[in-house]
């Protein structure tokens, strides 16, 4: 009887990403039954500004959830729990009386406040040890301070006592759930530069340093929590998991393994190395909490490549070409491309230069430039793999997921350069699948619907030589 009940149980995963909101319905064994994707526009009004319309984001989630429910038909009644995964470092300010947004969604890619943030450089090491993060405009604190300083409605709401501010996830909870809660999970809170990864709460010292009011921030709660109810076809369904997109992706195929490096490539690319139950300081990489469920806490050492899909999008605009659709055939060509020093959305780990100017080294046709940008993503991933090797267990394979993982040429280059086999699952919607794994209570068996593809490392001397030249060129550019 219990087994029959489990087999009929369905879970809804909402993945709110940089360019779209997605709704997926899985059964208890991890089989995908329905999905819907609704695009969300991104605007770049000024240099370093990247933002979205919060009303469009909310509407896109509602549309995706409604359409996924319609696809299921009567079986939508079997959805028993919901999980939400979002862009971790994006922020919003809103009116807690009405839920109306008072700021845009300021994206994790946004660097508008990097000059203001520089005044705290003397405290950078202290901040890193408290939060696991570097002093970077990609994270929430400087964005929230900018809203208070430059958006009159935000300032008025603060003075009036009705301001809510925090990660995008907290705003979405407030708007989507019947009880309009003011909660935030560890993975999203930890991307604000305000959250102490040892106490799992807002840090009073950092709030004072950045001049941000704790009374306006959401309450920090575990990853698994009774957040409230979201209506599906008029029926309230409990939302029980909230986390970050990359944190969820780590659990897409079961419990993370210490000897596997997990790479998820979408708008940005992220390298995660599980390190267990205790937070560890790394001088050049991030320490991130990926799960806190009242029983245990799981941490990773993490590296970030800001210019992944966003770099290809940038090149598409520069060349007025659809780069991504042509990239598979271009990656298969043999001609030597130029090098690309990739600072799109800022140069991330392990270099941490927010205002690095991207540039090509050498000339090339448009297709060669596209290959150069793709290879720069692999080079930056390799830099993060090299750095993480000093502070985590020895790796014997790489697990890759995300939209850009579909490119065979990119996966093979990563295997060749790292010297490690790269595994790409058939289902690469890792964020949604990982969210459902957590919703289902982390079952011991979480099978894939079909075997994925292994890319075994091969000798590739020309590519390895390009990587060495790229390292030298980047070192020179950084001075």
Interaxial angle between packed helices 366-388 and 408-418, expressed in degrees from 0 to 180 and rounded to the nearest 10? 40
**pLDDT for res 277:** 80
**pLDDT for res 417:** 98
The CATH H-level superfamily of 2-244 is ATPase, nucleotide binding domain (3.30.420.40)
Radius of gyration of the chain (CA): 22
How many C-beta atoms lie closer than 10 Å to residue 124's C-beta?
16
Q: What angle do CA 37, 42, 48 make, to 5 degrees?
A: 145
**pLDDT for res 6:** 56
CA-based nearest residue to 339, from 470, 479, 472, 476 = 470
How many residues make up the chain in this entry? 479
What DSSP state is assigned to residue 161?
A: T
- Was domain 254-424+449-479 assigned CATH 3.30.465.10? no
Q: Which residues contact 228 (CB under 8 A, 6 or more apart)?
A: 173, 177, 178, 179, 180, 181, 238, 239
**pLDDT for res 392:** 67
Q: Which residues contact 160 (CB under 8 A, 6 or more apart)?
A: none
Give the span between the Cα atoms of 349 and 118, in whole angstroms: 18
**pLDDT for res 7:** 57
Give the span between the Cα atoms of 209 and 135, in whole angstroms: 13
Q: Which two tokens stand for residue 450?
A: 């079909």
Q: At residue 352, what are phi and psi to the nearest 5 degrees?
A: 60, 65
Domain ranges of the chain: 2-244, 254-424+449-479
Confirm whether 2-244 and 254-424+449-479 share one CATH topology. yes
User: Per residue of the chain (479 residues), what is the pLDDT tens digit?
Assistant: 444 455 589 999 999 988 899 999 999 888 899 999 999 999 998 888 999 999 999 999 999 999 999 999 999 999 999 999 999 999 999 999 999 999 999 999 899 999 999 999 999 999 999 999 999 999 999 999 999 999 999 999 999 999 999 999 999 999 999 999 999 999 999 999 999 988 999 999 999 999 999 999 999 999 999 999 999 988 899 999 999 999 999 999 899 999 999 999 988 999 999 988 877 788 899 999 999 988 889 999 999 999 999 999 999 999 999 999 999 999 999 889 999 999 998 999 999 998 899 999 999 999 999 999 999 999 999 999 999 987 767 899 999 998 899 999 999 999 999 999 999 998 877 899 999 999 999 998 888 888 999 999 999 999 999 999 999 999 999 98
């Amino acid at each position: 009887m219990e087994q029959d009940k489990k087999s009929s149980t369905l879970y809804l995963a909402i993945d709110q990403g940089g360019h779209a909101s997605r709704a997926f319905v899985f059964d208890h064994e991890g089989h995908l039954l329905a999905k819907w994707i609704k695009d969300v526009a991104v605007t770049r009004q000024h240099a370093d500004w990247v933002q979205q319309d919060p009303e469009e984001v909310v509407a896109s989630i509602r549309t995706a959830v409604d359409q996924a429910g319609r696809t299921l038909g009567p079986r939508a009644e079997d959805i028993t729990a919901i999980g939400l995964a979002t862009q971790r470092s994006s922020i919003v300010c809103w009116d807690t009386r009405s839920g109306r947004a008072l700021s845009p969604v300021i994206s994790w890619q946004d660097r508008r406040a990097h000059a203001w943030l520089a005044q705290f450089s003397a405290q950078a090491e202290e901040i890193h040890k408290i939060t696991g993060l570097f002093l970077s405009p990609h994270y929430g604190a400087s964005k929230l301070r900018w809203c208070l300083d430059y958006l009159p409605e935000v300032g008025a709401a603060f003075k009036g006592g009705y301001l809510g501010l925090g990660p995008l996830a907290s705003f979405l909870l407030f708007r989507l759930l019947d009880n309009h809660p003011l909660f935030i999970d560890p993975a999203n809170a930890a991307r604000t530069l305000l959250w102490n990864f040892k106490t799992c709460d807002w840090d009073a010292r950092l709030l004072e340093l950045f001049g941000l009011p704790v009374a306006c921030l959401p309450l920090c709660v575990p990853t698994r929590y009774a957040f409230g109810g979201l209506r599906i076809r008029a029926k309230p369904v409990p939302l029980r998991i909230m986390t970050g997109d990359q944190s969820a992706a780590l659990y897409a195929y079961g419990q993370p393994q210490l000897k596997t490096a997990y790479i998820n490539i979408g708008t940005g690319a992220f390298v995660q190395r599980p390190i267990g139950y205790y937070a560890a300081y790394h001088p050049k990489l991030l320490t991130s909490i990926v799960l806190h469920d009242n029983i245990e806490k799981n941490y990773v050492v993490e590296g970030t490549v800001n210019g992944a899909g966003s770099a290809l999008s940038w090149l598409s605009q520069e060349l007025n070409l659809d780069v991504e659709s042509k990239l598979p055939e271009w990656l298969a060509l043999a001609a030597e491309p130029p090098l690309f020093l990739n600072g799109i959305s800022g140069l991330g780990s392990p270099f941490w230069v927010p205002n690095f100017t991207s540039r090509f080294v050498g000339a090339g046709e448009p297709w060669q430039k596209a290959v150069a940008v793709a290879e720069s993503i692999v080079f930056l991933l390799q830099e993060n793999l090299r750095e993480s090797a000093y502070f985590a267990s020895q790796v014997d394979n790489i697990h890759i997921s995300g939209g850009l993982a579909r490119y065979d040429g990119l996966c093979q280059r990563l295997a060749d350069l790292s010297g490690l086999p790269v595994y790409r699952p058939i289902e690469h919607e890792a964020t949604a699948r990982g969210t459902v794994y957590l919703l289902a209570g982390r079952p011991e068996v979480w099978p894939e619907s079909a075997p994925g593809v292994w890319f075994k490392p091969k000798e590739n001397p020309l590519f390895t030589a390009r990587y060495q030249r790229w390292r030298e060129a980047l070192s020179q550019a950084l001075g």
